[in-house]
Amino acid sequence: MAEVRLDSVTKNFGAFKALDQVSIRFHEGGFYALLGPSGSGKTTILRLIAGFEEVDMGSIYINDVDVAGIPVEKRKIGMVFQNYALFPNMSVKGNIEFGLSVKKMERELIEKKVRDVLELVQLEGLDDRKPDQLSGGQRQRVALARAVVTSPDVLLLDEPFSALDKALRLDMQIELKRIQREVGITTIFVTHDQEEAITLSDNIGILDKGILIQEGSPSEVYEHPNSEFIATFLGDSNIIPVKRNEGGFRLSDGSPILIDHENSVLPDKFKVCIRAEKIFILEGEQNGLEEFQNQYDVKIEQSFFAGKSLTYLVGLAGIKLKVFQQNATGKRHAEGNRIKIAWKSSDMNFLEK
């Protein structure tokens, strides 16, 4: 295991700035997800850590050792690529033991390590199969086994589940988490899948245009986004403009809104966000409940049924709010109906920028 640290790392590809003064610490034994839109710099960070690219400015440290100039094969890095990159002419065993053979390890030790890692990834009995005889999930396990069998200090994963269907991807997420915990290896994981990042990681870093916008635990980043970009990129958030007047704070149509924030530090105009699942539809005797400080009568403009849940688009103060509701009772509200929605002021986040 190892700690990995980027200090003010900048990387350019011609006129394109892939990373701009990025500083981030990947703690020893942790599982860290890098999330962001295409071109945000996620994969560039992996390639720099692995040694496939060199930084233009700044430094990368592995266990407090500056790795500038250290070649790929001497960095003790395991990497799983998006396309698995298995050798098609080699068996499962041949693929896994390849890195050990290059190190000229004793045959007896190679055999033991291969047996152990096959058990770890639950592929016992498939030693002699070729990649084209395996399912997508099995090929993914072979790639993972090949990456960890050499006992690297750091495991890098670049969109490893993108080629899998949804059900298999979920199974592999569970397996990856189990394997990572058993091995205890520092893992850095690149993904476009927000739910995947939240489910698997101990910490998340979100990048945009080469800049690290926010990092923290999944719950911290999700519950307390520091910008409109984070609020809308991660999960379903409603962005609501608010203005101050003599009687408190109001929406653009003059409706009052209670803000759970020190009034003295808020500007006259600002935005707040409220997650779609934090907005409740009040039914009958629930109307007027004091725990929901903000309550509004709205019209349902659109509804979307997704089996286990429903999403309603409702009009409020000139904007459309998303309201998420679990399909627990089977009750659905029709488009055009008026309903009362409500949320707690403590569930809103003031957006600083």
What are the tens digits of pLDDT across the range 235-284? 899 999 999 987 789 999 999 999 887 666 788 899 999 999 999 999 87
Whether the predicted pLDDT of 33 surpasses 70: yes
Banded model confidence at residue 168, pLDDT cuts 50, 70, 90:
confident
Question: What is the reported pLDDT for 8?
Answer: 97
Banded model confidence at residue 99, pLDDT cuts 50, 70, 90:
confident
Banded model confidence at residue 288, pLDDT cuts 50, 70, 90:
low
Whether the predicted pLDDT of 353 surpasses 60: no
Whether the predicted pLDDT of 130 surpasses 70: yes
Q: How many CB atoms lie within 10 A of CB 281?
A: 18
Domains within the chain, CATH numbers bracketed: 4-223 (3.40.50.300), 236-351 (2.40.50.100)
Looking at mean pLDDT, say which of 57-61, 76-80, 132-136, 195-199 comes out highest: 57-61
Burial string for 115-147 (b: 16+ CB within 10 Å, else e) reads eebbebbebeebeeeebeebeebbbbbbbbbbb
221 CB contacts (<8 Å, ≥6 apart)?
Answer: 204, 206, 214, 215, 230, 234
Q: How many CB atoms lie within 10 A of CB 96?
A: 29
Whether the predicted pLDDT of 96 surpasses 80: yes
Banded model confidence at residue 81, pLDDT cuts 50, 70, 90:
confident
Q: What is the mean pLDDT of residues 38-65?
A: 95
Q: Chain-wide mean pLDDT for the chain? A: 90
What are the tens digits of pLDDT across the range 290-341? 788 999 999 999 999 988 889 999 999 999 999 999 887 778 899 999 999 9
